[in-house]
Structure 1
């Protein structure tokens, strides 16, 4: 018997990728994002004279587009989504589209070094970290989609407000980066609590691989700003940060999709 497929996640994600990349190319070419103010200039790569200021750091964001499309491709098969994700209609498609948007949003900053591009970059980071934290908390509390979206919106709003501060934070530089990191840490903590509670089981290999990818990415992100840097090279540490984070985003989805309800237990018990 052929496996049933759902084309909607892939169609929605492909549409998101096409429209967002198209808008980015047009915005960069026409100058909609504003003047070059050096935003993102601290990530080693020297600004070029062309219309894409940091080509390596900008183009490496295609990794997020590929990761989001990979999520959507797998989401065509409902039986590959585990026991929990199907309880949240549209969440997998939403996550796939969100991961795709990380690419053009981050590339907006590196291509233009503009203030608006920097804002788009930070907002995309808030979105993915808020998703991870909200989904973990929702499952911990055994709540529904409405609760997830409420927590998600509140967390994004809190990040945006926190990011308005110009206070410098050691290591991570800005309050916005600190908020992003804290949400990811919170997501890891709650995911660990969920696993220890034992009402559902996940394939921890995906969680460990996602966490390892993020930690290696953060190490490279740090080193590339403190001496491990060749401004004129197309091999950039910050580009590696993008690619490793894209891998982590896909592995996080695989962790979610591996969740199975423990025999004899109900998820809402």
Structure 2
């Protein structure tokens, strides 16, 4: 639900908040400060930590697409952190752009594995998809249509494409342990986020125990598990890239 309470004049982010507020009101109480939602903002350091781990792991892969996992995870952390620090729609769009970067990174890997997308085209197609989804986000928000549905549909598309590949598209079939772990972490994270936004579990003034903050931590681990799944295709992905 879109919040009714605006930041008051004199608050650091007041000007941007007056342009448009984000379309969701998390449980954490908003503060008149440079970091409006501290727990929801600082919990994004989990993505930064995962990005560092991914950068180390990426030293052993050849595919440029797989190497992009680390900067993509870093972008998610920075964008989400700034969004929750500001509590503004303008920077919520930046947050969604970052989520699209990671979602389309996974989806284009699967499209390449399905031979639907050529390795030489993935970067251009990837940027086009991220740009289109971001533009759609702005349009849907002004129509008061929940923009979180776009991310949900992308996750469904990733799972569906992986399921199709697992049914026999790649020889004996890939190992799915890390992919299942990734989806499990994401599902658990979603439960905490839902409990938060519905006020089922809500302590507005708690300094760190917020459901949406837990979403950040668990979903960052889901990104790491996703990389551990996709790196088994490194040789094939690298072969098709320029």
TM-score range, shorter chain: 0.7 to 0.9
How do 1:237-256 and structure 2 match up within 5 A? Answer: 237-256=211-230
In the other structure, the counterpart of 1:215 is: 187
How do 1:220-231 and structure 2 match up within 5 A? Answer: 220-226=192-198, 227-231=200-204
Question: Does the CA contact (< 8 Å) of 1:213 and 1:248 recur in 2?
Answer: yes
* Alpha-carbon shift at residue 196 of structure 1 (Å): 1.6
Question: Does the CA contact (< 8 Å) of 1:53 and 1:112 recur in 2?
Answer: yes
How do 1:1-269 and structure 2 match up within 5 A? Answer: 34-37=15-18, 38-39=21-22, 42-78=25-61, 86=62, 88=63, 90-141=64-115, 143-163=117-137, 164-166=139-141, 167-169=143-145, 174=146, 176-200=147-171, 201-226=173-198, 227-234=200-207, 235-259=209-233
* Alpha-carbon shift at residue 69 of structure 1 (Å): 1.2
Question: Does the CA contact (< 8 Å) of 1:40 and 1:110 recur in 2?
Answer: no
CA distance in 2, matches of 1:260, 1:161: 32
In the other structure, the counterpart of 1:8 is: none
Q: Runs of 5+ in structure 2 lacking a partner?
A: 1-11
In the other structure, the counterpart of 1:21 is: none
C-alpha distance 104-40 of structure 1, shift in aligned 2 (>3 A): farther
CA distance in 1, matches of 2:211, 2:46: 14
* Alpha-carbon shift at residue 236 of structure 1 (Å): 0.3
Question: Does the CA contact (< 8 Å) of 2:47 and 2:76 recur in 1?
Answer: yes
- Partner SS, residue 16 of structure 2: coil
Q: Runs of 5+ in structure 1 lacking a partner?
A: 1-30, 79-85
CA distance in 2, matches of 1:246, 1:61: 8
What is the aligned residue count?
Answer: 220
* Alpha-carbon shift at residue 121 of structure 1 (Å): 0.8
